[in-house]
């Protein structure tokens, strides 16, 4: 009976620590979003050819990256904290690590082609904007096309990462997975 009380106290303390960590993460993300929103509004007020979609894309990307990194870091934290055998359930599979690496490669390439090579503007008409197109870089694709392909593959591999992150927990009830 005394062991049950001690285990209950430990469980209560773990739940309290998890809730504090989650609240801290959500507070950090809320402040980050507020800073991004203020920065975007400031830039839009100063720029003549401001494009709202670029700012929304940045905000969505930062949020998606932040939550995915938090989830992955928490998985790694619980591998170290729980130890064997439960820590093995929380480990990340080789397939998932491959997806993480491919995500970083393709998202990085997408960012380079998006920010480094601007071949469009929304201030002028589409027919005039077409004159900004550069020579083909890869077969008959220009840098803007490569940005679309790289970011599309980056998103695919990010979603595959999130899909395979819990592969070691297939037989574990959802309530017993500490990340949730």
Label residue 161 exposed, middle or buried (CB < 10 Å: 0-12, 13-18, 19+).
Answer: buried
Report pTM: 0.70
Q: 137: which residues sit within 8 A by CB, 6+ positions away?
A: 143, 146
Question: How far, CA to CA in Å, does 17 sit from each of 10, 41, 100, 174?
Answer: 10, 36, 28, 19
pLDDT at 88: 63
Contact status, residue 170 vs residue 90, Cβ threshold 8 Å: no
Q: Give the separation between CA 155 and CA 17, rounded to whole angstroms.
A: 32
Which residues are 138's β-sheet partners? Answer: 141
pLDDT in 10s for each residue of the chain, 180 residues: 545 444 444 445 555 666 777 888 889 999 999 998 898 888 888 876 667 777 888 888 889 888 888 888 888 877 777 665 565 667 788 999 999 999 999 999 988 888 766 666 666 777 776 676 667 666 777 777 888 899 999 999 999 998 988 887 777 777 777 665
């Amino acid at each position: 009976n005394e062991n049950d009380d001690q285990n209950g106290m430990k469980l209560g303390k773990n739940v309290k620590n998890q809730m504090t960590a989650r609240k801290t993460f959500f507070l950090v993300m809320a402040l980050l979003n507020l800073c991004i929103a203020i920065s975007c509004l400031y830039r839009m007020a100063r720029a003549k050819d401001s494009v709202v979609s670029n700012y929304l894309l940045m905000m969505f990307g930062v949020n998606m990256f932040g939550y995915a990194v938090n989830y992955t870091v928490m998985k790694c934290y619980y591998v170290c904290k729980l130890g064997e055998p439960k820590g093995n359930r929380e480990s990340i599979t080789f397939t998932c690590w491959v997806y993480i690496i491919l995500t970083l490669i393709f998202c990085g390439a997408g960012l380079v082609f998006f920010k480094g090579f601007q071949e469009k503007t929304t201030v002028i008409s589409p027919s005039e904007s077409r004159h900004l197109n550069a020579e083909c870089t890869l077969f008959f694709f220009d840098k803007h096309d490569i940005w679309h392909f790289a970011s599309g593959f980056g998103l695919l591999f990010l979603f595959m990462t999130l899909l395979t992150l819990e592969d070691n927990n297939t037989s574990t009830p959802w309530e017993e997975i500490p990340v949730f």
